[in-house]
Chains A and B, each alone.
Chain A
Amino acid sequence: MSEHILRLDDVHTDIGQYHVLHGISLNVPEGGVYVLLGRNGAGKTTTLRTIMGLWRAHRGAVVFRHHDITRLHTSDIARLGIAYVPENMGIFGGLTVEENMRLASAGGRFDDNRLQRIFTLFPAMEKFWTKPAWSLSGGQKQMLAISRAIIEPRELILIDEPTKGLAPAIIRAMIDAFREIAAETTILLVEQNFLFASSLGAHVSVIDDGRIAHSGAMAELTQDKDLQTRLLSLSLDAHQ
């Protein structure tokens, strides 16, 4: 197995008076897509936000490469090379597509090669370059959120439910784009769309009630319908 880029050791996180994460432990290998699955309210988003420092773990450790990032400020975590695409996409609606991208690029300057690659992946970004982001469709906003995450080289990208509310045709385009992005960086993907997740991820962890209920190869989970039913209360057939 390749070196782990991210490690969570017995992470506990509270949100207000609620104890949401009850000792999450994860080892995310470098490269490819690592998927976090789980029902609504299981703790997937909280896990990503805890990694990003947006919510604080009160126990346990989050280790990125060899840095303990548990207590770091969110901006310092981002500067280590971790990008975050939240569930609501985090687009700045009052800014143009260009301004959204410029904000995420180092020193406000674009690397032409990366920009051209993004335009190839998501042609809508070039088409709507000068348009305000609020005027984009839901799919285009998601493309912008992902483009913003990859406008600079990142070591790890945390993506929270990118297919939520998107049309099937856009989801298929996303799969192609994610495969290309995953060839050069590591993606930790939170998803509820099992088909999307299983077509991308090599590794999977299932969260239930703030705990890791299962970790292993995605192929194992895809083939084992009993395991799917037990862990996710779903079967792959039901989604085909």
Chain B
Amino acid sequence: MPSGPNASGSLIDRFGGVYLLPLAMMIVALPLVGSFSSWATLTVAGLAMGMMIFMMASGLSLVFGLMDVLNFGHSAFITFGAFIAASVLAALAAWVQADSLVLNFLALSAAIGAAALFGLVAGWFFERVIVKPVYRDHLRQILVTMGALIIAEQLILVIWGGAPLSVPRPALLSGSIILGDVAVEVYRIFAFFLGLIVFVALYLMLNRTRVGLLIRAGVENREMVEALGFRIDRIFIAVFMAGSTLAAMGGAMWAGYQGLISPTLGGELLVLVFIVVIIGGLGSIEGSLLGALMVGLMGNYVAFIFPKLALASNMLLMLIILLWRPWGLKPAVGG
């Protein structure tokens, strides 16, 4: 019987493997939820939530896998992304509330773009000043990145205050589409497709470009990549910046999804983000997507069926998956 991260040949692998797990989860949930319309609403909400968490988690997974860096400060990018996007939308309130789709779209693009720009610049600063001095030292990484996270959260309190902030949603993304008995929020469809676009872009970059090849190789054995003549530290800065940008964009999307955000938003989401990275498999974009979709679906179904188990549900999911596949669902590193 093969073993290790790439063990194959089991019955489940022959029928599509772990890629079918989100689908299996949906099928199992249908009779438990009872009503088709409730199930459809929960499923769309779970997929949208999953895609937003995927955006936040994919960068962390690559950073973790590529340079073995435990960045607890990742949630600061999420929180800042959310607050920056909320502030931009508030500043462009006239465009947000206008009947013009063009103005709505411009306001939304400005909000997500501002969050992304912040993520890019903050990611560069964070890597150079905070992470670089503590490469290869996990204990110091945890201490230093936690310290940076505390400072970042205090900065958010200084800039935006401690009260929850309301996030205006562009008219373009307000309301629902009615399909039979099922009402699907437009924002959830938008979040799902934006996440899908990000996944496809990341997948193509990793699998169709030389930079992607280097990142995948670096996740497995960065020393050997250097011995082949490449500067892995330069690749890592780019990956870190991309990761922080995606986290900030994910935070911006989450702000619009929730409608009301608080400075603890990033810290609360970081638990889910780490669960996704762990159950997906370190350094794996496909694993992150699978993990994020399962976490999103699980959270929504369990909150509806067994509300008291909602908080523990994703911990249980992680426990079950790690008992079954200790390396995660789709680990990047070969056996």
Point out the residues of chain A lying under 8 angstroms from B334, CB to CB: 91-95, 132-134
Whether B213 pairs with A103 at a CB distance below 8 angstroms is yes
Which segment, of B174-182, B220-228, B255-263, faces chain A?
B220-228
Whether B332 pairs with A75 at a CB distance below 8 angstroms is no
Task: Tell me if A16 counts as interface (CB < 8 A to partner B).
Answer: no
A-B contact pairs, 27 of them (CB 8 A): A54-B226, A73-B231, A74-B227, A75-B226, A75-B230, A78-B226, A78-B228, A90-B224, A90-B227, A91-B334, A92-B220, A92-B224, A92-B334, A93-B220, A94-B6, A94-B216, A94-B219, A94-B334, A99-B213, A99-B216, A99-B217, A103-B214, A103-B217, A103-B225, A108-B213, A133-B334, A134-B6
Given contacts A92-B221, A99-B213, contact A134 B229 (CB under 8 A): no
Q: Which residue of A lies closest to B331 (CB)?
A: A94
Point out the residues of chain A lying under 8 angstroms from B321, CB to CB: none
B218 to chain A, nearest CB (A): 9
Task: Tell me if A52 counts as interface (CB < 8 A to partner B).
Answer: yes
Binary interface encoding of chain B residues 206-219 relative to chain A, with 1 for a CB under 8 A from any of its CBs, else 0: 00001001101101
Task: Tell me if B335 counts as interface (CB < 8 A to partner A).
Answer: yes
Whether B213 pairs with A102 at a CB distance below 8 angstroms is yes
Interface residues on B, range: 20 to 34
Task: Tell me if B333 counts as interface (CB < 8 A to partner A).
Answer: yes
Point out the residues of chain B lying under 8 angstroms from A92, CB to CB: 216-217, 220-221, 224, 334
Q: Complex formed: what's the CA distance from A52 to B335 in Å?
A: 25
Of B227, B232, B335, chain A has the most CB atoms within 10 Å of the CB of: B227
- Which of B's residues lie within 8 Å of A, judged by CB? 4, 6, 210, 213-214, 216-217, 219-221, 223-232, 332-335
Whether B227 pairs with A93 at a CB distance below 8 angstroms is no
Given contacts A95-B216, A99-B213, contact A90 B221 (CB under 8 A): yes
Q: Which residue of B lies closest to A93 (CB)?
A: B334
Q: Complex formed: what's the CA distance from A52 to B334 in Å?
A: 25
Q: Which residue of B lies closest to A134 (CB)?
A: B334
Whether B229 pairs with A79 at a CB distance below 8 angstroms is yes
Point out the residues of chain B lying under 8 angstroms from A104, CB to CB: 228
Q: Complex formed: what's the CA distance from A219 to B171 in Å?
A: 85
Q: In the complex, which residues 131-150 of chain A have their Cβ closer than 8 Å to any Cβ of chain B? A: 132-135, 148
Task: Tell me if A32 counts as interface (CB < 8 A to partner B).
Answer: no
Q: In the complex, which residues 76-105 of chain A have their Cβ closer than 8 Å to any Cβ of chain B? A: 78-79, 83-84, 86, 90-95, 99, 102-104
Secondary structure of the B side of the interface? helix
Q: Complex formed: what's the CA distance from A135 to B214 in Å?
A: 20
Point out the residues of chain A lying under 8 angstroms from B216, CB to CB: 92, 94-95, 99
Whether A94 pairs with B333 at a CB distance below 8 angstroms is yes
Of A73, A78, A93, A94, chain B has the most CB atoms within 10 Å of the CB of: A94
Given contacts A75-B230, A134-B334, A134-B335, contact A93 B6 (CB under 8 A): yes
Of A84, A91, A103, chain B has the most CB atoms within 10 Å of the CB of: A103
Point out the residues of chain A lying under 8 angstroms from B224, CB to CB: 86, 90, 92
Whether A95 pairs with B217 at a CB distance below 8 angstroms is yes
Point out the residues of chain B lying under 8 angstroms from A73, CB to CB: 226, 231
Point out the residues of chain A lying under 8 angstroms from B332, CB to CB: 94
Whether A78 pairs with B229 at a CB distance below 8 angstroms is yes
Q: Complex formed: what's the CA distance from A133 to B335 in Å?
A: 9
A87 to chain B, nearest CB (A): 12
Q: Complex formed: what's the CA distance from A116 to B219 in Å?
A: 30
Given contacts A102-B213, A108-B210, contact A93 B333 (CB under 8 A): yes
Binary interface encoding of chain A residues 58-82 relative to chain B, with 1 for a CB under 8 A from any of its CBs, else 0: 0000000000000001110011000
Point out the residues of chain B lying under 8 angstroms from A91, CB to CB: 334
Other A-B contacts than A95-B217, A99-B216, 6 sampled, CB-CB below 8 A, are: A75-B230, A83-B227, A91-B334, A92-B224, A94-B6, A103-B213
Q: Complex formed: what's the CA distance from A70 to B214 in Å?
A: 26
Given contacts A75-B226, A90-B224, A90-B227, contact A132 B213 (CB under 8 A): no
Q: Complex formed: what's the CA distance from A104 to B213 in Å?
A: 11
Point out the residues of chain B lying under 8 angstroms from A95, CB to CB: 213, 216-217, 220, 334
Whether B227 pairs with A84 at a CB distance below 8 angstroms is yes
Q: Complex formed: what's the CA distance from A94 to B213 in Å?
A: 10
Of B214, B216, B219, B334, chain A has the most CB atoms within 10 Å of the CB of: B334
Q: Complex formed: what's the CA distance from A108 to B4 in Å?
A: 30
Given contacts A108-B210, A134-B334, contact A54 B229 (CB under 8 A): no
Q: Complex formed: what's the CA distance from A206 to B227 in Å?
A: 25
A46 to chain B, nearest CB (A): 14
Of B210, B213, B332, B333, chain A has the most CB atoms within 10 Å of the CB of: B213
Q: Complex formed: what's the CA distance from A21 to B227 in Å?
A: 21
Binary interface encoding of chain A residues 27-70 relative to chain B, with 1 for a CB under 8 A from any of its CBs, else 0: 00000000000000000000000001010000000000000000
B293 to chain A, nearest CB (A): 22
Q: Complex formed: what's the CA distance from A52 to B213 in Å?
A: 23
Q: Which residue of B lies closest to A104 (CB)?
A: B228
